[in-house]
Chain A
């Protein structure tokens, strides 16, 4: 069967659109994990970001909303970091609790502000901004270069994260902490401060991811609207092997897997799309098992630094 160009374009832009928040959240989580902190609170930080974006956009426009989303994510990640790094509580459980906290906070605040029915809220959104010249390139033009500004933000964050991790002293120190806090400290690195900074920065990324979801995709807020995307971001970090470029690829893969269901619906195919939804998780598991190439997590991931 021939696919017409419209379907391909639609599929590609949908992939990139779905991938954008995943990419942002995963880059943030990658920073934390490179420092040895696994933050299951990303889901919650995204959710807080999403609500803050809705509130901010309703009162001050889309850009205010975007800024608010970053701040909200950072705030939630700070709670996690205080427990997991400050008090050295178990990272997994602290992260789970933080996400639970965000579910409660956002749901209640949303209902309190917008009423329990949560009447269809219509928000100013971030519209696609075509990049002159590039947007007209066949196939990839419309999908990558005719997108809302948050997509560009996420795409620019990839080389920025790479530069930070592999070209700066602080990035090197962070990676060292993630491998061995003890040895990093012997080299004079303030291990826990770095972990803290990386974690809350990651939280701001996750907040922006939630903001993207609201401002560039859905156009409104709904309770629990992140629907596990924060956890997907954690899988993406693993699948992307803790490397910004790998994370970009993995985020696009997850985006494509989700977008495929739109294509199948458009084409009236009866292939169960859920199989495609499962695929990236299964791939991640295989990767973890070392069946798909070698992969090394930061050696001290999840272990509290003394």
Chain B
């Protein structure tokens, strides 16, 4: 019952600064079909969908609606063309009511009684009931997402783009959502389901497109496909084979640097626990790499161990000094408008050699920073250059250099190479391995399974707030299975 293509994206290229997000990617959404767009974090899924929804202008490529080329200059253009997008991060305004949020999006009149009738009618037609007078900020997540879908469909959309819609839902809610998407397709629309979850694609979609590093690596009907083929397509064969394989474990009598037991950490939103009953020990010289689907609690676990988030319950013993490498370089790792030296001073704090009884010797700080820059091959206009003037890779090298400058017993790093090119990635990996070789205990997580497998002497998997250790020499598929543990399907 698959019909004609409604939306076609052809040979789309997009570059953000130094990162090539899309290299000739494409997608065809047909009437009556649920199409899954699969890929790991950073594979280019969201960028491709932003192109389709008019939020990002492609550098090159073609967008066709009903077979005719079309330029989408703004979200409004896309909506007029019948494309409705549900973002991973909700765009409803908490202080406004459900009806007001819909009216704002669809440009409807605001007289409450008529609006409520209209919204109720729309919601009923779509079979997505909502209370029109409830404030968006008071809705539970599942209803908030429903509001997003109703908003996207209010302007009679024929293509519905769902960006990672189930990440925030409980399994039963996720099933319900997939059923609704199916119903929408059966009524003649096209659905694109963006996800990194294999089971969802296999269960909920008719066709699947897999992106890896900005390119389409697979495009076919779901029938006959298994999770093995999809995993292989998503993750690829190890692409950085020239890196050394993980060294053997540190010896069992090396001193323990990190020890947590029965650890519980609250979500950053304050609602519920992100980490439940996690126990983990790391010895000097070990690299422990954590894998997990985004939002499984790995971020909170690492931050609690690093002392950035408070521990709710359990024991936490960490040998100091500890260096933390946050994922977000430009808001947490560095202050971009301050100079390189100032950022080094910030990271090393009062114990640094250039601070004596509260007095700061800038000359000494500058000298040491200059040495660090050359030791770590950080390309910059010198210690006085603003951190913002460094490329992403050099910013990260600076952050790693600064972390090592503390002579840490423990390094905790979040996605240490996200957004970096191959060479910078390699440099960061080498530094982390060197550090471990010199007896530092390293704990990291990465959204990139390749990275986890390349760096981790021990690999642990976080799923739904609990941590399990993968057996030595576990395969990609085994780790993937652990990542999905506790998830529906």
By a beta-carbon cutoff of 8 Å, the part of chain A in contact with chain B is: 166-169, 171-173, 175-176, 179-180, 183-184, 186-189, 296, 298-299
Contacts and interface: CB of A to CB of B under 8 A. Distances in A.
B75 A188 contact: yes
Interface string B231-252: 0000000000000000000000
B75 A180 contact: no
A188 B105 CA distance: 7
Contacts of A166: 110
B91 to A, nearest CB: 5
A79 to B, nearest CB: 28
A167 B96 contact: no
Interface core residue of A169, A183, A184 (most chain B CB under 10 Å): A183
Contacts of A171: 110
Nearest to B99: A172
A172 B103 contact: yes
Contacts of B76: 188
A167 B111 contact: yes
Interface residues of B, number: 21
A173 B111 contact: no
A168 B104 CA distance: 10
Interface of B: 55, 74-76, 79, 91-96, 100, 103-105, 107-112
Given A166-B110, A167-B111, A169-B107, A176 B96 contact: yes
A238 B102 CA distance: 28
A306 to B, nearest CB: 14
Given A166-B110, A169-B109, A172-B103, A186 B91 contact: yes
B93 A184 contact: yes
29 contacts: A166-B110, A167-B111, A167-B112, A169-B107, A169-B109, A169-B110, A171-B110, A172-B96, A172-B103, A173-B104, A175-B95, A175-B96, A175-B100, A176-B93, A176-B104, A179-B95, A180-B93, A183-B93, A186-B75, A187-B75, A187-B91, A187-B104, A187-B105, A188-B74, A188-B76, A188-B79, A188-B107, A299-B94, A299-B95
Contacts of B79: 188
Interface core residue of A173, A180, A188, A298 (most chain B CB under 10 Å): A188
A175 B101 CA distance: 11
Contacts of A179: 93-96
Contact of B91 (A168, A183, A299): A183
Contacts of B112: 167
Given A172-B103, A188-B79, 8 more contacts: A167-B112, A169-B107, A172-B96, A172-B100, A179-B96, A184-B93, A186-B75, A188-B76
A168 B110 contact: yes
A184 B104 contact: yes
Interface core residue of B79, B93, B95, B105 (most chain A CB under 10 Å): B93
Contact of B95 (A187, A189, A296): A296
Nearest to A186: B91
B136 to A, nearest CB: 10
Contacts of B104: 172-173, 176, 184, 187, 189
Interface core residue of A172, A175, A296 (most chain B CB under 10 Å): A172
A183 B103 contact: no
Contacts of A169: 103, 107-110
B142 to A, nearest CB: 20
Nearest to A173: B104
A278 to B, nearest CB: 31
A167 B91 contact: no
Nearest to A169: B110
Contacts of B92: 183
A179 B92 CA distance: 10
A244 to B, nearest CB: 16
B106 to A, nearest CB: 9
Nearest to A188: B76
A75 B79 CA distance: 38
Contacts of B75: 186-188
Given A188-B75, A189-B104, A167 B93 contact: no
B95 A167 contact: no
Q: Which 8 A-B pairs have the closest CB atoms?
A: A188-B76, A179-B93, A183-B91, A187-B105, A179-B95, A187-B104, A186-B91, A172-B110
Contacts of A168: 110
Interface core residue of B76, B110, B111, B112 (most chain A CB under 10 Å): B110
